[in-house]
Each structure stands twice: as structure tokens, then as C-alpha cells.
Structure 1
Amino acid sequence: MLLFAEAEAPLQPIPYSHKQHVALGLKCKECHSMPDPGEIMGIPEASKCMACHRSIKKDSPVIQKLAAFARSGRPVPWIRVYQMPGYVEFGHKAHLDAGAACETCHGPVAERDRLAREVDISMTGCMNCHRANKASLACITCHEERK
């Protein structure tokens, strides 16, 4: 269910279609790593993309641009679509273990060539989801205790 929609998907420095990659059989976890303890789901480094693209569409100008980032070791300056404020503690593993799917917070990514924020990840949106799923509404659940 879509709860929120931004006007437009931002233009990324390198075009990337989740729809196209999912259609080829890729799963979220194949590209987005979740190192222990599982709080953060990483945005793939260009070198991870190049593991496949060394041989797939390697002559494409878009892939050549990606390869240049991989060679330089510089991160691709992606425009973040979903990012929690620093004062919010959000653990991907905890949410996945509780039965949430990637789409719960990120919307129908697998259907998109370009991503826009489609799910409300504000405090109101999170609280509504917690209520609907009978998850804790205690402040400490998502906010670090202030001393």
C-alpha cells in the first residue's frame, strides 16, 4: 500500500532500473549488503556492480561511467531517496525478522525504473505501521535514550 508519494524521482548520476535487475532474477540482498549487526542495508559500491558488468553491457556508456567510479574507488554520488534522520534508530534486520519486506518501507521498488519516495517514513508513517502491526510505540524503540 502506498502511503506517500514525492512529486518526482530524482535524476541519479547513473541511471539504474530496479525493475530491470529484478526481472533478471536479482534479489535485494544480492546487491544491498547487511553487515552485522544488521542495522544498515548498504548501497552497493560500483565494484559490486562491476562483478556482473565486467562482461554484461560493458561497452555501454552508462556502464563505462560506472566502471570509472569502480576504478577510482570513489563512491557513486547517489541521491538518497530513503534516509532516516540521525536521531532515529532503525534496524533493517529487526524489521525483516519481524516480517517486514523491503517493499514495506521502500514501496514497489521491483516495479520501478526510477525511484521516488512512495512510503511515508516520517514519525507519523512509522507509528501508523507500528500500530497496524502491534509493534512497540515506546519512544525508546526508535529513539536513543537521551541522558
Structure 2
Amino acid sequence: MREAASTQTSRQVAPSPPQQPIPFSHKMHAGNLQLQCKGCHPNPDPGEMMRIAPPSTCMACHSAIKTDSPAVQKLAAFAKEDREIRWARVYEIPAYVYFSHRAHSESGNTCAECHGQVAEREQLYREGDITMGGCMNCHREKKASLDCSYCHEPR
């Protein structure tokens, strides 16, 4: 487990990164190469979820870059067979919560506000607080709605 800086005076232990089917460095792609999040994470209608690009998107670069890498060769096999890679989820919002990545993005929020400093991470782990308390704190800071029905369907 890693230590993550906390907004409190003590330090918290962050969860270990989940094992992924293919190694992927966000530090290299988002950090060093400065690729934008939305290039690999499209947001199709209606905009609730960000997706992970198919292997064919990765191969736009990797058909010529690091082709001798076993990880890229595995990626190429997925692309050739038009198969989806089953990435391990780092963040998952409960089904009873309405959340729109598009609405949050369009209102000026950045990916880092919820997902942490992804561009500095070789492997991702749950860094941002996506609990109800974390969301409520952010809504208070940004003066967004605190009404229950804003994120939860009325029962």
C-alpha cells in the first residue's frame, strides 16, 4: 500500500493499484507526452460515463512506437482481433447515484479534481474521494446543489 497525502494532518494509506491486463503508464501518456484525457477516454452520449478507447485507438501510435514491447504486442493482438481489453476499474460510482462526467466537465471541473494527479502516476489507484461526503464537500466549495435529488432519484 502507498501513502497518500491527506487534507488532514495525518497521512492516509492509499489502496494499491489494481492489477491491469496490460501495463499502462499514465505518467508517460498524460504526463511526459501531455496527451489529453479525452483522447483516450471518450464521453459518448448521454455523457454519464467516460469510456476507455478501444485498442485500435492505441495502435494509431503503437503500430510504429515500442512495437518490440511485449505489452504493445499484446495490445496489437487485441486490436487485430477487435477485442475489448477488460481493464480493472479504479473508480466505480454506485448505481443509485446519478453522475454525469459531461456535466461536471462542462461546469469547469478538471479530471484531477476527482481522480488526482494522474499525469504523475505510473499506475493508478483510488486517489480521489468519491464518497458521498467527498462529493458533498466539493459541492459546498463550488456552491453546487446539495439537494438529495440532484444526485439521487427521489424514492
**TM-score, length basis structure 1:** 0.91
Shift of 1:2: 5.3
Shift of 1:88: 1.0
1:7-26 pair list within 5 angstroms: 7-22=15-30, 23-26=32-35
- From 2, 14, 19, the equivalent of 1:6 is 14
Q: Percent same amino acid among aligned pairs?
A: 57
Of the structure 1 ranges 93-102 and 34-43, higher mean CA displacement relative to structure 2 is found in 34-43
- From 103, 106, 113, the equivalent of 1:97 is 106
- From 56, 61, 64, the equivalent of 1:55 is 64
Of the structure 1 ranges 110-119 and 53-62, higher mean CA displacement relative to structure 2 is found in 53-62
Deviations along 1:67-92, one digit per CA (max 9) or x if unpaired, are 11112222111110011111111111
Letter in 1 for 2:19: L
Shift of 1:38: 2.1
CA contact (8 A) 1:32 1:44 kept: yes
Shift of 1:36: 2.5
Distance 1:2 1:118, change over 3 A: farther
Greater relative CO (CA pairs within 8 A, separation 6+): 1
The number of residue pairs the alignment matches comes to: 146
Structure 2 portions without partners, runs of 5+: none
Letter in 2 for 1:10: P
1:33-72 pair list within 5 angstroms: 33-72=42-81
Shift of 1:31: 1.2
- From 31, 48, 66, the equivalent of 2:40 is 31
Cα distance in 2 between the residues matched to 1:123 and 1:14: 31
Aligned equivalent of 2:153: 144
Shift of 1:34: 1.1
Aligned equivalent of 2:82: 73
**TM-score, length basis structure 2:** 0.87
Root mean square deviation, CA, Å: 1.7
Cα distance in 2 between the residues matched to 1:143 and 1:72: 40
1:86 matches 2:122: no
Aligned equivalent of 1:134: 143
Cα distance in 2 between the residues matched to 1:104 and 1:126: 11
Distance 1:115 1:126, change over 3 A: same
